[in-house]
Amino acid sequence: MRPEQLHEVATVGGFFALRTGEPNDGTALAGVYGGNVAPLTLRVDLVATRLGARERRVAASIAHLGLAARLWSLALGSAALHGLVPVLDPERLYWTPDRSSPDDLVLTEVHSRPASVAAIRDVVQVGHLLPLSTALRRDTRISPRLLWGNAGSALAGAVRELDAWARAQRRPEVVERARTLAAGLFDHPDLATTVRGPAMRRTSCCLYYRAGGGLCGDCTFDAPPTAAARS
Condensed to tens digits (0 to 9), the pLDDT of residues 32-64 reads 999 999 999 999 999 999 999 888 999 999 999
The pLDDT assigned to 142 comes to 93
| Euclidean distance between CA atoms 112 and 93, whole angstroms | 14
Q: Is the pLDDT of residue 228 over 70?
A: no
86 DSSP β-pair partners? 112
**Residue 121 sits in which domain range?**
3-230
| Residue 216 DSSP SS3 | coil
Residue 206 CB: number of other CB atoms within 10 A? 24
pLDDT band at 227; cut points 50, 70, 90: very low
Is residue 182 left, alpha or beta, with left meaning phi > 0 and alpha meaning psi from -120 to 50?
A: alpha
Helix (H) or strand (E) holding 70: helix 56-82
Domains: count for the chain: 1
Condensed to tens digits (0 to 9), the pLDDT of residues 13-37 reads 999 999 999 998 899 999 999 999 9
Under 8 Å between Cβ of 71 and 87: no
The pLDDT assigned to 226 comes to 66
Under 8 Å between Cβ of 158 and 77: yes
Condensed to tens digits (0 to 9), the pLDDT of residues 155-209 reads 999 999 999 999 999 999 999 999 999 999 999 999 999 988 888 888 888 787 7
Q: Spell out the residues 6+ positions from residue 102 whose beta carbon is closer than 8 angstroms to its own.
A: 10, 14, 17, 18, 19
Query: Out of 99-103, 109-113, 176-180, which region has the weakest mean confidence (pLDDT)?
Result: 99-103
DSSP string, 167-197: HHHT-HHHHHHHHHHHHHHHSSTTTTTSEET
Under 8 Å between Cβ of 101 and 70: yes
